[in-house]
Structure 1
Amino acid sequence: MAGGDALVEELRAARDSLFDTLASVAPESMTTPGLLGEWSGRDLIAHLGYWAGHAVEVIHAVEDGRVNEVGVGEPPVDEVNETVARIARSTDLATVRKREAASVEALVERLRGLSGALLGERLPDGATLEEGIREDGAAHYREHLEELRRALRDSARG
């Protein structure tokens, strides 16, 4: 089990790699659907920011002893993702970037203050808190980084 600082390092490295790759994306692909399926770069950034914020909410629930409430009443993931993308499309890229950065910084702050003992807490879906944080954080950035790299390679091939 990693500690909060290790999770922060992992998140920052994954996020930096994704944003380094996004820097090579044509400016129009940052706001025009089609970079990753129907998503633009802006949609992707908003998506990642939303899920980083979700990890903060999960940590808060666990810290408050409300682990059984995690996920209760939440809409299905695909519905959440569609809503986030729809909102992103009507928001300027700079604002989306600021929101994502703020979500990540909130997650970093929570991780730095998190008791390591809580990382092993089981969430209702069976994952540990640590696994849930990774899923919404570093692993999520890495997942979309690989998709982005594939899309850019495919695009370069024509």
Structure 2
Amino acid sequence: MDVPSRSTDAIEPAAALARIETSWHSLVNLVTSLSPDLLHEPGVTGEWSIKDLLGHIAFWDDNGAATARRLAGGDAAAGPDYRLVNDPEAANRASQSLEQVISELQVAHEHMMQTLHELDGFHPANIAEDTYLHYEEHQAEVESWLARRHH
């Protein structure tokens, strides 16, 4: 897979929204093409399964919306450190069903997109790591894992 440039310097908000949706749909299409059994199999990235990754992405979509709102309100404070929240967030979702995680993922993504559409002049660089760059990163991991499984 050709991963688009990680640069966010020159991207306009409308282009960022389009890239978010393109990257999102690419990831969702990949995941929905897989058998449900594969979604629970650990080892995609570290010990995480695709289900774990989907819950992780839901968390960071919510964070992307919160970051955009916070920055639009003039609060430049840093958001959560991913190194401190990723494992506890995964543990919080471990007992959730795949259906619950997928529902949370869809709701979080819709909420984040609604938030971005409602904000005037959000800067794409502020949400890239929580959105399209994040989807592209994890799609590449899933694709790599699938390739390793077939060899």
Same fold (TM over 0.5): yes
Q: State the identity as a percent.
A: 25
How far apart, CA to CA, are the structure 2 residues paired with 1:97 and 1:154? 25
Q: When the two structures are superposed, what TM-score results if normalisation uses the length of structure 1?
A: 0.81
2:106 alignment partner, one of 90, 97, 101:
101
1:141 aligns with 2:149: no
Counterpart code for 2:78: V
Comparing both structures, which one devotes a greater share of its residues to helix? Answer: 1
CA RMSD of aligned residues (A): 1.7
1:33 alignment partner, one of 35, 42, 46:
42
Note the 1:44-83 alignment, pairs <5 A: 44-67=53-76, 69-71=77-79, 74=80, 76-83=81-88
Structure 1 unaligned runs (5+)?
120-129
1:19 aligns with 2:61: no
State the number of aligned residues: 142
1:112 aligns with 2:120: no
How far apart, CA to CA, are the structure 2 residues paired with 1:147 and 1:32? 14
How far apart, CA to CA, are the structure 2 residues paired with 1:26 and 1:154? 17
Counterpart code for 2:35: A
Contact kept in structure 2, 1:46 and 1:99, CA below 8 Å: yes
Counterpart code for 1:101: Q
Tell me how far 1:33 sits from its aligned partner: 2.1
1:90 alignment partner, one of 75, 79, 95:
95
How far apart, CA to CA, are the structure 1 residues paired with 2:112 and 2:13? 10
> SS in structure 2 opposite 1:32?
coil
> SS in structure 1 opposite 2:25?
helix
Contact kept in structure 2, 1:30 and 1:40, CA below 8 Å: yes
Q: Which runs of 4+ in 1 moved over 4 A?
A: none
Change (3 A) 1:31 1:148: same
